[in-house]
Amino acid sequence: AQRDPHMAMHAMKVQHVAVLIAREMELPERVIKRVETAAMLHDIGMLAMPDSVLLCPTELDEQKMYLMRRHPLLSVQIMEGMEFLEQEIPAVRYHHERFDGSGYPEGLAGAAIPLTARILAVASDFDGLTNGSLAEHVYTTDKARAALRDGLYTHYDPAVVEALMQ
């Protein structure tokens, strides 16, 4: 939050949306708590990013993008030493995987991606679209929902997007 106030707000918004999605999906309370905690920590690996990457005002070049794509693994490295976060690690590690297997860090697809990570992906991208960090312009809620629907079966789990729509 001190380096980039946007990151703290992003984490809080992702946490809020992710919990709403998990509740809509009628997940057990223990899973909802995991989603809540994982959402707050999903980008903690950004702490290890150099300012030249984290605060870059332009599109990231190939080298900077490589570093940025390491943040889920860096997040896991930070969390691994804390046993009480063991259940949240899969959500954090895989929140950039895509339903069609085109994501990172491992190229997982479909049900191989933990449900908690699929929830974080939708919540994080919804916030990114509505706050302008994922798009050239800030999307309205309706336009962001349409963009997520466009990503069904490629980027996002349809069941998770449907829960967001509700």
Q: Give the pLDDT of residue 48.
A: 87
33 or 46: which leads in pLDDT: 33
CA dist 42 and 150 (Å) reads 24
- Is 22 a residue whose pLDDT tops 80? yes
CA torsion angle 108 124 17 38 (round to 10): 60
The reported pLDDT for the residue numbered 134 is 74
Q: State the chain's mean pLDDT as an integer.
A: 93
Note whether 145 and 151 are within 8 A (CB).
no
DSSP conformation letters of 104-145: SSS---GGGS-HHHHHHHHHHHHHHHHHTSSSSSPPPHHHHH
What are the pLDDT digits (tens) for 89-104? 999 999 999 999 999 9
pLDDT(158) > 80: yes
Distance CA 104, CA 142 (A): 27
Residues 6 or more apart whose CB falls under 8 angstroms from that of 161 comprise 122, 148, 149, 151, 152
pLDDT at 112: 98
Per-residue pLDDT band at 43 (split at 50, 70, 90):
very high
pLDDT at 7: 83
How confident is the model over 24-48, as a mean pLDDT?
95
